[in-house]
Structure 1
Amino acid sequence: MNLSQGIKHQIVQHLNELKTAFEKYFPKCGKEDHWIMFPFSEIYFKSAVLSAREKEKLIELKTDSSLQAAFLEKKSLITFWANVKYEYPELSYKAFNVLLPFTSSVLVERAFSSYTFIKNKCRNRLSVSSDLRVYLSSVEPDFKKLSASKQSQGSR
Structure 2
Amino acid sequence: MSQHDKEHLSIKIEYNNPAMSQLSFLEKEDRKLINLKEASDWASQYLNRNVTISNISYLLQYGRVKKYGSNGNPLLNIEELKDYYDSFKKEKQWKRILGEDLNWHLSFVEYKEAERTKHVHRLHPYKGKFIPQLVEYFLDSHTDEFKKEVYFHEGDIV
TM-score by length of 1: 0.30
Larger helix proportion of the pair: 1
Larger Rg: 1
Higher strand proportion: 2
Q: TM-score, normalised by structure 2?
A: 0.29
